[in-house]
Structure 1
C-alpha cells in the first residue's frame, strides 16, 4: 500500500469538521473502503469525491447513514441508466445512417 495514494481519515475529518466515527460508519454501510496502516484509518484518493459527497449530504441535508446508502444506490442506478441510454443512442445513430 503506497501512502501517497491514501489520506488519513483524521486529516480528512479535521479539514471537513466531522467526527472520525462518521467515516467509520460509512465503511460499516459499505459506502467506502478504508485501509488501515499502523492502526490509522486511511482512504484512497479515488474514494475522496464519494466521501466528500456523503459528508455534504449528511451535513447540508441531515441525511443519516442509512439514507446515504439509499441515495448512493439510486445515484449508481441513475449513472448506469445514463450509460445505457448513451449506448442505445449510439446504436440508433448507426441505424439512422443506413
Structure 2
C-alpha cells in the first residue's frame, strides 16, 4: 500500500488531542489496524469515521477502551439484526404479493 493513502497516527494524536497509547490500545483490542512503515504508524483512511466515533465516546462519555470495545460489538450486532430484519421483510413481501 502506498504511504500517500495512509494517515499518520502522530498527526491524528495532534489533531484530536489524544495520546499515542490510545491508538495502541485500540489496536491491541482489535478495533483498528495499524500499519508501521519506517517506524511511523499509520491507519487506513477508511477507518477514520469509526476512529472519530471511538474518540468521541472516549472523551465525551469517559468510556475506557474495554467499554468502547463493548459498544462497538453491540453496535455491530444491532446493524446485523437490522440487515436481517430487512431481508426477512423483503422475503415476506414476496409471499404476500
Task: Name the residue aligned to 2:35.
Answer: 35
Task: Name the residue aligned to 2:8.
Answer: 8
| Alignment deviations for residues 3-52 of structure 1 (CA, whole Å, 9 cap, x no partner) | 23210001111111111111111001111101001111100011111111
Question: Superposition pairs for residues 31-70 of structure 1, below 5 Å?
Answer: 31-70=31-70
Q: Which runs of 5+ in 2 are unaligned?
A: none
Rounded Cα–Cα distance in structure 1 between residues aligned with 2:59 and 2:15: 14
Rounded Cα–Cα distance in structure 2 between residues aligned with 1:94 and 1:13: 51
Rounded Cα–Cα distance in structure 1 between residues aligned with 2:6 and 2:91: 40
- TM-score, with structure 2 as normaliser: 0.96
Rounded Cα–Cα distance in structure 2 between residues aligned with 1:44 and 1:25: 17
List structure 1 runs of 4+ shifted beyond 3 angstroms: none
Task: Name the residue aligned to 1:71.
Answer: 71
Task: Name the residue aligned to 1:85.
Answer: 85
* Pairwise CA RMSD: 0.7
Task: Name the residue aligned to 1:96.
Answer: 96
Q: Which runs of 5+ in 1 are unaligned?
A: none
